[in-house]
Amino acid sequence: MKRDSCLARVTAGVAVGGAIGGAVGAVYGTYEAVRYKVPGLMKIRYIGQTTLGSAAIFGLFLGAGSLIHCGKSY
């Protein structure tokens, strides 16, 4: 039973981290694309890469943090 709840916590951590990281990455990618005057459709690609990269990294770290906390009993 504890294993299922740990898996659920890690999954929720990855999902929340991905959502927050994606939102921050989209805002930051848009800002950088406008700031550096990225031409035309390359803006969409740049914003997408920034969004996915940020979501993946933040989701990974929040999932790892959730996994570390699964072993602790309070």
Q: Can you give the pTM of this predicted structure?
A: 0.86
Q: To 10 degrees, the CA torsion angle through 28, 30, 34, 35?
A: 0
In this predicted structure, the answer to whether residue 3 has a pLDDT above a threshold of 80 is no
19 lies in some domain: no
How many domains, in total, are found in the chain?
1
42 lies in some domain: yes
pLDDT digits (tens, 9 = 90+) for 14-62: 999 999 999 999 999 999 999 999 999 999 999 999 999 999 999 999 9
3 lies in some domain: no
Rounded Cα distance between 13 and 48, Å, is: 22
Q: State which H helix or E strand residue 7 sits in.
A: helix 2-35
In this predicted structure, the answer to whether residue 5 has a pLDDT above a threshold of 70 is yes
30 lies in some domain: no
At 73, the pLDDT band (50, 70, 90 cuts) reads low
- Which carries the bigger pLDDT value, residue 32 or residue 74? 32
51 lies in some domain: yes
Find the domain containing 48 and state its range: 38-67
